Amino acid sequence: MEVLDSIPVTLDIGEVLKQSRLRKKNASVEETVRELIETAKVVARPKAVYEVAYVENKNGDSLSIGGVRFTSRVLRVNLDKVERVFPYVVTCGVELDGVTVPPDDPVKGFYLDVIKRMVLRAARKHLESYLTRRYALGQMSAMSPGSLEDWPITQQKELFSVFGNVENLIGVTLTESCQMLPLKSVSGIYFPTEVKFESCQLCPREKCIGRRAQYDPELVKKYDLTAQAVVRQ
């Protein structure tokens, strides 16, 4: 197990404005974004924890990873020929999450959320790059509990148990509904793959701003699923 807590934070006002996807921007908005960026650069400390784990006891719709049992047909099929995987949790960090804005300033709140999201995305890319270099990996894919009905979010508990006390390690906790805090956190399992996999390929929902790949009905057949395999996150 390893914790990465020296992840560089680079924020550019142009990219923040671009990621906001808002058409109307003015000098006041730009000044607000600059102030938030300066604050974020001072306090942001994104973190990641990962484990090198081995896949065992593949049986039907379940398998064991690092001695912990998971139930998901899609995960089991994806790892059918895989022995070593990398469970992970990544967060924007409690430090940045602790930054607050006045409740009567929704614009500032919106851009702070954009910045947190960008910091989280950068931290995840940092982890991906680190794993690829350190373990001489080729292409990787990832799956997350809750991304498909086939792998419910309740299995966040099992994933977190792979690491022990994740709060002590990187400050991330689970609510009773298995939502992560800070909210700008992601978890899952990286695995090597010859063909890139995205959970979106199994999701028939048409209008989704988070879609990363087109729905593939033939892939649904491969996993012997029905249209209930809907993306949840």
> Which structural domain range is residue 80 located in?
2-195
Residue 225 within any structural domain of the chain: no
pLDDT mean over 213-222:
64
Question: 197: exposed, middle or buried (C-beta count within 10 Å: 0-12, 13-18, 19+)?
Answer: buried
Residue 223 within any structural domain of the chain: no
Our count of domains for the chain comes to 1
Predicted confidence (pLDDT) per residue in 149-168, tens digit: 889 999 999 999 999 999 99
Residue 154 within any structural domain of the chain: yes
Helices 27-43/106-134 angle, 10° precision: 50
Residue-averaged pLDDT of the chain: 87
The residue that leads in pLDDT, 48 or 192, is 48
Residue 109 within any structural domain of the chain: yes
Residue 75 within any structural domain of the chain: yes
CATH classification at residue 98: 3.40.109.40
> Is 70 exceeded by the pLDDT of residue 218?
no
- In this prediction, residue 190 has a pLDDT band, given cuts at 50, 70 and 90, of very high
> Is 50 exceeded by the pLDDT of residue 90?
yes
